[in-house]
Structure 1
Amino acid sequence: MKIHFLIPILLVCMLIGACEKDLFVKDIADEKVVLLSPGNGVSLKAQTINFIWEEVEDATNYRFRLATPSFDSIQLLLIDSMASKTTISFNLNPGIYEWQIRGENEGSNTGYSTYKIFIDSTSDLSGFQLVLSTPGDSFYTNVSKPQFSWEGLPIASEYNYKIVKGVDFENGELFTSKINTDKTSLTLTKALENGFYTWGINAENDNSKTNYSTRFMYFDDQVPGKPQLKTPTNGELRNIGNTTFTWTTPSDNGSPVRDSLILSTDSLFRSGNKYHLVSNGSYTDSLARGITYYWKMSTTDRAGNWSGYTTPFNFTIQ
């Protein structure tokens, strides 16, 4: 009997413990972020600076701030950014800076830990990493002549753009000849062909150059096929309110696709529409009786190509 009496108590305790873990967030106000690199008071050449700090237990993210010349006599707050990891990188021009970090979670935050650094002038680009802006990495697009942009470096005299077919940037086939520019953006003049590309930019001056910074992209201008509606069939009378919609989606060799289903009580879909992103060829919905419903579908791929809508089907729940 004692064993049977203890089991419910143990279960309740376990449930309470689990709830407390989910409902209560640890207060980290008394914790401190330990800054690792760059150290306090160090002098560095102008380059890409990697800021690194120790993880704070129970912190879910970190607020990074950078000011010049200091937070006590601030002239310019250059960066106020959130990071989920314990490192972040920026290109810095010559000057005096302070950087600081605090840990945060849903309920509290630590105080700021602050270090001062000095950035000396240099004409050597080899320590820099060019920061690419747009398009984002692993980008899908149906724009045949996209624009590319990146952050400039004050000591760079020009930038070299390169795009190759496929994912082998070093040895892949050049899609266009290399492009030299003193701007920080350019638009392709040759239309892309369907497929994967790797593009990259480096900076150079009379004395040195950076390595290439690269990203992947995929161009796809092929319109996906429309889904083929299967059930409920057109004009069907149904006796149950729990209705499963089924369809087939034509195969597509381009970018990934997703299907959309629109359900309405209006034959022209002017009002009362329900929109559903669906997958795997089926979707189930609980529907009211005594109503005629209309449904149609379309397919969109990740590059933004749209199939258009299917011819609507209608069915009635008796």
Structure 2
Amino acid sequence: MEHSLAERHMVLLSPSDRIETSVYQQIFWWEAMDDALFYRLQVVTPSFDSAASLVLDTLVKTDKFIFTLDPGHYQWRVRGENGSSRTEYATHAFVVYPSSLKEQSLRLNSPATGLLTSQPDIMFSWPKLFGALNYRLQIDTNNFVDESKVLLNVLLDGQTYIFSPVTEGHYQFRIRAENATENSKWSTAGLLTFDSTPPSKVNLEFPANSGTVSSPVSLKWTAERDAVAYQLFVYKSDSVSVLNNTFPLRLSANSHGFSFGNPGEKLIWRVRAMDKAGNLGPYSDYRSFFIQ
């Protein structure tokens, strides 16, 4: 049973009310609330009473959200929400003044640091920063120890870039904004890992091929070292039509209690492994069994 939030009050922490700042990248921060599942964050300019523009309207699951703004007068507000109730909004006002680009920092929207992926094309994206004409994206495999030898060093007009790693491994990335006279600070370096090697082929262990079993039966297969999940496929006797819309079934263990099928029915099954990066291994051989 959910507790009502109707009588609760949000507490905003930063930016504080009526603060004046020259920092474009703001961290919106509020006190977490028990029983709130998420928070509605809104930012307008110049105020909610006379809004010229809705700058941001988003649902957030944590108590912080980072967003980059142009200079201007703003109000921001947050309310807590769950499935059946919500608080009233708490509101603060603040002003962002124009400042030197070298005092600013930039943060990538994607990819998130720590990304482990098998995708051959990785999208980099970042927000527009006031005063910037270009954005310099660097990607390296040696932690930017030698800036003259980074793997990738590109100057871009837009706010997206597709990176296609050639080899598996760990990559560091960072970005900064530039104009004709100055540069912003580098973003905090992020890390991604590209892994395109699939897990090994799974071997089916039980039941024996063409065996007759009682229902329910425990389907078992070998555990693969790099696997974090398995896809189990069960078909009708034609080996093409899946038994029902339960399949394919994603499982974390290397066994499954199977209770479908009718007496005398022949069923076909196979399994493949999936690793942390999302690589899918080859299918196991087909096996059949009969329901007793």
Same fold (TM over 0.5): yes
RMSD of aligned alpha carbons: 2.5
Deviation track 1:96-136 (CA, whole Å, cap 9, x = no partner) reads 111111122232111112122121111234233x2313333
Instruction: Find 1:162's aligned residue among 124, 138, 149.
Output: 138
Greater helix proportion: 1
Q: How has the CA–CA distance of structure 1 residues 37 and 133 changed in structure 2, closer, same or farther, with 3 Å as cutoff?
A: closer
Counterpart of 1:51, as a letter, is F
The residue type paired with residue 39 of structure 2 is Y
How far apart are the structure 2 equivalents of 1:184 and 1:90?
A: 15
Per-residue deviation, 1:158: 2.9
The reply to whether residue 280 of structure 1 matches residue 257 of structure 2 is: no
Which segments of structure 1 move beyond 6 Å, counting only runs of 4 or more?
Answer: none
**Cα shift at 1:209:** 1.9
- SS of equivalent residue, structure 2 residue 40: strand
Paired with 2:122 and 2:103, the residues of 1 have a C-alpha distance of 29
Unmatched 5+ residue regions in structure 1? 1-22
Tell me how far apart the structure 2 counterparts of residues 284 and 295 of structure 1 sit (CA, whole Å). Answer: 13
User: Of 127, 131, 146, which residue of structure 2 is paired with 1:151?
Assistant: 127
Unaligned runs of 5+ in 2: none
Q: Which has the larger radius of gyration?
A: 1
> Secondary structure of the equivalent of 2:250?
strand
1:178 aligns to what SS in structure 2? strand
- Contact persistence 1:262–1:275 (CA under 8 A): yes
Whether 1:45 aligns to 2:22 is yes
The reply to whether residue 132 of structure 1 matches residue 105 of structure 2 is no
TM-score, normalised to structure 1's length?
0.80
CA 1:28/1:177 → structure 2, altered by over 3 Å: closer, same or farther? closer
Q: Give me the whole-angstrom Cα distance separating, in 2, the residues matched to 1:245 and 1:317.
A: 13
Percent of aligned pairs with the same amino acid: 28
Distance 1:52 1:305 in 2: 37
Find out whether 1:268 has 2:245 as its counterpart.
Answer: no
Offset of residue 250 of structure 1:
4.4
Q: Closer, same or farther in 2 for the Cα pair 1:46/1:279, shift >3 Å? A: closer
Aligned counterparts of 2:77 and 2:129: Cα–Cα separation in 1: 24
Cα offset, 1:60, TM superposition? 3.2
Higher mean displacement: 90-99 or 78-87: 78-87
2:75 paired residue among 94, 98, 104: 98
CA contact (8 A) 2:224 2:273 kept: no
Taking structure 1 as reference, are residues 304 and 88 closer, same or farther at Cα in structure 2, changes over 3 Å only?
Answer: closer
Match of 1:19 in 2: none
Q: How many residues align?
A: 287
Aligned positions of 1:7-22 closer than 5 A: none
The two structures have a TM-score, normalised by structure 2, of 0.86
State yes or no: 1:142 paired with 2:113.
no
Match for 2:257: what amino acid?
Answer: T
**2:212·2:291 contact (CA, 8 Å) conserved in 1?**
yes
Partner of 1:298: 272
